[in-house]
Amino acid sequence: MSTADVFVSWLPLYHDMGLIGAWLSSLYFGLPLVVMPPSTFLSRPSRWLWAIHTHRGTLSAGPNFAYELCLRKIEESELEGLDLSSWRVAFNGAEPVHADTLMRFAERFRPYGFHRQALTPVYGLAESCVGLTFPPMERGPVVDRVVREEFVRSGRALRAAADDPDPLRFVACGVPLVGHEIRVVDTAGNELGDRREGRIEFRGPSATQGYFHNPRETKALVRRGWLDTGDLGYLDAGELYVTGRVKDLIIRAGRNLHPEELEAAVGDLPGIRKGCVAVFASTRHTGNAERLVVLAETRQTEAAALGRLRERIAATTIDLLGAVPDDIVFAPPGTVPKTSSGKIRRAASRQSYERGAMDSPARPLWWQWASFRVEATAARFRRAGRKVGGAAFTVWCWFLAVAVGGPTLLAAALFPTTATLIARRAARGLARLTGTQLIVSHTDQLVRTPACVVVANHPSYLDGIALIAALPGRYTFVAGEVFAAKPVIGLLLRRVGTLFVERPDREQGVADTDRLTRVAREGQRLVIFPEGGLFPVPGLRPFHMGAFVIAARSGRPVIPVAIHGTRDIYPPGQHRFVHHGAVHVTIGEPIYPTGSDWDAAIRLERCARTTISEHCGEPDRSQ
């Protein structure tokens, strides 16, 4: 990849192949990315190819069904003048890659400048940040022909003879990325040799640490340092050939049957919707014995036509698997569930079948249309309700800011010695009146440390109010000189004893550091936001070193405080309160300086940053 490349993508950004494979990869390499909505491609697949033509795209990607959709849905009249000669890498992944699809796509679009060597079958998964194995670029697809009977019986991928009339065909998906490893193991976890089918495992720097808040699945994912992909395949000279999913494997009479090939073959039958076939095993009506079920979408409704389709499906199943399907179920379009990337959800299909959902007649078209309209109208009302609720909450918050803030300011001006107590009571009152739950953890750390430098992250304008309400005792806040000039907030800050510093002026900054060091030595507890300012994008920004230099020079410990939740209520850069919620203030353990020099200040900063990063709920953007 280079900046001379152009990536064209219709993949949804809520799917890892679109978000990481297309969007973030383009951002990382600094190359142009052309994005189109998935609905634009699905409604007219030729738009994908014309986008590559128009923008001279060199890179693009899609699951196998996308290439199949181009073959089935694009008419020759839509291709006049099309030029795909710029397309040098056509990634195919996210689902099983079919050799037949690759060959037919290369042949169909060869007259329009498409090169066969651009086809690039790849393998990856979200648990490895999408990409795991890649073939050499511009090599073209490599297809392995395997003896069918031996493979389904023993899992040995013996090469088929040139005159074998019915081999299995698997597509090579390349070798692992640099620093990554893959292996194939049996059910006991023993590593298998080349051309033996087993479970695919991997490890490497892109491997996930686990599933979010799901320790059970995380434990099942990792086995002796290797991560289980849930896929089946075999290796040959280091190159991976994916054969299917473990959970989709059908075992009948000691033979391992993979559903993908049968699904493709049934989808090719006239009258069956291609890419809308699910083959799975079910124990419905039999107890423990597995039954082979073929679920296929069709627009046919006449009994005679369905009978002929049933015969063709049975014959196709016998030819490919050597077994008769126990049940053939016909369903109307839109019945077979799929993932966001277009993969067949066989487990969901099996669940619907076993619940008997396939037995009920399909709703008439007018009913489906009416249901869509009702749901769309309800969604609009829900969105409108959220907007009205948000606007009402914003009005209420600004009303309280005036109704509570005005008397607070007046009381602080009249009674300066109790201004801090007044401000704390006002802050807690605002939290109660807005329905904001204030959760403070480990206040004992501050009670035991009478003299210290408190440092906190700064995600929102509400952070100062949150700390005034949360921190016990008296504190001296440090703020930028720009706030001192503000007529209302400046008066209140001065009344509660805030010290102001001049940030842009380097010489004045040195003087301010010396002044605050003296204050800290006198025993006052300083509160400083070391990020300095507010940023609209969530994240823990780099810290200014002033607070840590003050702590090191004065010999006072640093107490890190993490604030989480204020950004969700009142994001910086906006003038509206989004919604009420909870604010978490987590107080860390004191970090004592090991000296008074710059190195000691650096150590204080690193330790404080680590603690705050663990509890603030935002990514660390220090790099």
Mean pLDDT throughout 190-211?
92
- What are the angstrom distances between the C-alpha of 176 and each of 129, 138, 203, 272? 13, 17, 10, 37
Residues 117 and 127 in one domain: no
The pLDDT mean for the chain works out to 87
Return the CATH number at 554: 3.40.1130.10
pLDDT at residue 286 tops 60? no
The three-state DSSP-derived secondary structure of 438-460 is EEEECCHHHHCCCCCEEEECCCC
Reported as a single tens digit per residue, the pLDDT across 386-433 is 888 888 888 888 888 888 878 887 887 778 778 778 888 888 998 899
The percent of residues above 70 in pLDDT, for the chain, comes to: 94
Positive or negative, the CA dihedral 138, 86, 4, 123 is negative
Residue showing tokens 């849905």:
73
Q: Are 586 and 615 in contact (CB under 8 A)?
A: yes
Residues 242 and 174 in one domain: yes
Domain containing residue 423: 395-615
pLDDT value, residue 4 = 87
pLDDT at residue 614 tops 70? yes
What is the pTM (predicted TM-score) of this model? 0.54
In a domain, 605, yes or no: yes
Instruction: Give the closest residue to 173 by CA, choosing from 118, 128, 238, 127.
Output: 238
Which SS3 state, helix, strand or coil, does residue 530 take?
coil
In a domain, 384, yes or no: no
Q: Which residues contact 396 (CB under 8 A, 6 or more apart)?
A: 434
Reported as a single tens digit per residue, the pLDDT across 590-605 is 999 999 999 999 999 9
Residue showing tokens 């969105």:
383
Residues 150 and 184 in one domain: yes
What the block records as the tokens of 187 is 């059910």
The percent of residues above 90 in pLDDT, for the chain, comes to: 43
pLDDT at residue 52 tops 90? yes
Residues 543 and 424 in one domain: yes
Residues 535 and 463 in one domain: yes
In a domain, 389, yes or no: no
Instruction: Give the closest residue to 280 by CA, choosing from 288, 289, 292, 263.
Output: 292
Q: Which residues contact 36 (CB under 8 A, 6 or more apart)?
A: 8, 9, 10, 47, 48, 51
Q: Are 341 and 326 in contact (CB under 8 A)?
A: no
User: Which segments of 130-287 does DSSP mark as H helices, in order?
Assistant: 148-154, 215-221, 259-267
pLDDT at residue 249 tops 80? no
CB atoms within 10 A of CB 333: 11
Residues 217 and 295 in one domain: no
Residues 39 and 164 in one domain: no
User: Which segments of 415-545 does DSSP mark as H helices, in order?
Assistant: 419-433, 444-447, 463-470, 481-484, 489-495, 506-521
Q: Are 457 and 540 in contact (CB under 8 A)?
A: yes
Most confident of 255-269, 349-363, 492-506, 591-605: 591-605
The secondary structure of 339-401 as a DSSP string is: -TTS-B-HHHHHHHHHHTGGGSPPPPHHHHHHHHHHHHHHHHHHHHHHHHHHHHHHHHHHHHH
Q: Which of 305, 336, 359 is the last residue of a domain?
A: 359
Mean pLDDT throughout 257-286?
83
pLDDT at residue 544 tops 80? yes
Q: Going by DSSP bridges, is the β-strand pair 130-134/198-203 parallel, antiparallel, or unpaired?
A: unpaired
What residues does 228 pair with on adjacent strands? 201
In a domain, 275, yes or no: yes
Mean pLDDT throughout 501-505?
73
CB atoms within 10 A of CB 50: 18
Which SS3 state, helix, strand or coil, does residue 294 take?
strand
- Convert 406-429 to b/e letters by CB count within 10 Å (16 or more is b): eebbebbeeeeeebbebbbbbbbe
Return the CATH number at 93: 3.40.50.980
Q: Which of 103, 121, 139 is the last residue of a domain?
A: 121
Task: Say which range, 20-34, 253-267, 586-600, has the weakest mean pLDDT.
Answer: 253-267
Q: Cα–Cα distance between 246 and 611 in angstroms, integer?
A: 41
Instruction: Give the closest residue to 563 by CA, choosing from 472, 456, 469.
Output: 456
pLDDT value, residue 255 = 66
Q: Is 305 left (phi over 0), alpha (psi -120 to 50) or beta?
A: alpha
In a domain, 620, yes or no: no
Reported as a single tens digit per residue, the pLDDT across 79-110 is 999 999 999 999 998 888 889 999 999 999 99
What residues does 453 pair with on adjacent strands? 526, 558
Q: How many domains does the chain have?
A: 4
Residues 302 and 333 in one domain: yes
Instruction: Give the model's confidence band at 253: pLDDT under 50 very low, under 70 low, under 90 confident, else very high.
Output: low
Cα 206 from chain centre:
14
SS3 content of the chain, % helix, strand, coil (to 5): 40, 20, 35
Q: Which of 216, 248, 280 is the last residue of a domain?
A: 248
pLDDT at residue 367 tops 80? no
Return the CATH number at 289: 3.30.300.30
In a domain, 29, yes or no: yes
pLDDT value, residue 224 = 84
User: Which segments of 203-344 does DSSP mark as H helices, in order?
Assistant: 215-221, 259-267, 303-321
Report the length, in residues, of the chain. 623
Residues 596 and 518 in one domain: yes
In a domain, 370, yes or no: no
Torsion of CA 21, 23, 27, 32, to 10 degrees: 110
pLDDT at residue 446 tops 70? yes
In a domain, 366, yes or no: no
Residues 443 and 581 in one domain: yes
User: What amino acid is encoded at 455 in this protein?
Assistant: V
Residues 458 and 570 in one domain: yes
Q: Cα–Cα distance between 467 and 456 in angstroms, integer?
A: 9
Return the CATH number at 173: 2.30.38.10
608, burial (CB in 10 Å: exposed 0-12, middle 13-18, buried 19+): buried
Residues 115 and 141 in one domain: no
pLDDT at residue 44 tops 60? yes
What residues does 278 pair with on adjacent strands? 295
